[in-house]
Structure 1
Amino acid sequence: MAGRRDRQVPSVGERREQGDRLSVLRRDVGLSQSQLGARVGWTAHDVSNLEAGVRSVATLRLGTAVRFADALGMGIGEFSRCVLDVKPWPTDSVRALRSLRERRVDLGLSLVEVARSVGVSPSAVHGWEVRSGLGGAELRRVVALARVLRVGLGVLVGC
């Protein structure tokens, strides 16, 4: 399918590594799975599945990932670096974004180019630009979008 690029979830090994890193962060701040779950609106069983790699941190919706980051006392950029092992990348010095579309146009990128780089359809990128933003997007897609737009993750999500 042309519009459905890279719909695969991370491998079991990647999910387990992410879960292990999340577990370490949770324990470092002194929270049980039940306590973390309560802070993000999940059950302890849900958190356990995330830490065990049954579910993928990378495919969490951005809004959920932000709640996890907040519960652990960190920003979404730091959360992504720690849990997804996202390496820092060079960013343009953008303090705030007026709009995703404006940033994309400023960089001379088309909807199709951004969509291809992020692994979504052009209509998904268009939706992010004109609708309610990125809250429903998968964290891994938002990380990829930040790279394409050459901004920090915190800037992209308005933190």
Structure 2
Amino acid sequence: MADSTSEVFSASKFAERVEASGLTGREIATRLGVTPAQVSALRNGRRNPSMDGLKRIVEALGGSAVDYLVLPDKERWTLRHFRVAAGLTQLEVSQDLGVAPAAVSGWEVRRYKPPRALLPRLAELYGAGEADLDAAVGYEKLASPAEGLVALAQSVIGVVEVALAAAAAVDDRERQTLLSAVNQHLERSLDSLSSAVRGLPEGQLRLAAVDAVRQMAELYAAANKACR
């Protein structure tokens, strides 16, 4: 359900837009890259589009993402509501912030909080006020050390993923220098995180930290392989 519009997509609003467009079901389907039966399912509420699907709907029928959604009162919005209303996928947000997609997902299900330093950029991405996002995140409830550890680990993973992608676009000499720096950074992070994870109590945060260790280990192996 990560990038689904489940629970917020309005079939009736979509149907109204379809009627107002004057297009046939087949023409709508062609524009959306789906079948006429799938368009019918969207109109009847039997199907919800993905975030990418919602973006295609906006491109085909006009308006903005909010015009096709039913959202709670603003004071009850979560980070997911802000993102969906902005018409962004978790992947797009993660790429812009330089973090792993799993980090964005973790923030939205309130497994842990995004670092405060990212709040201004999130507000810019979502076209929202920092105070609104502050309330949605609940910073007044101080993050536990475990939450901070997981958030930091996810940030490291995001930075490394961006660095590895950049390495593929430079010449051999620069690539080796960049990959060497990535490996050193990962080694230090893996050592620190692995030690810290052993002290975490059982639960969702420990599972998230363990998964971060796994992702780092995979990235370290990938960077080592690329160095050869």
Higher helix fraction (1 or 2): 2
Q: What is the TM-score of this pair, normalised by structure 1? A: 0.46
Q: What is the TM-score of this pair, normalised by structure 2? A: 0.34
Task: Mark the structure with the bigger radius of gyration.
Answer: 2
Work out which structure has the larger RCO, using CA pairs closer than 8 Å and 6 or more positions apart in sequence: 1
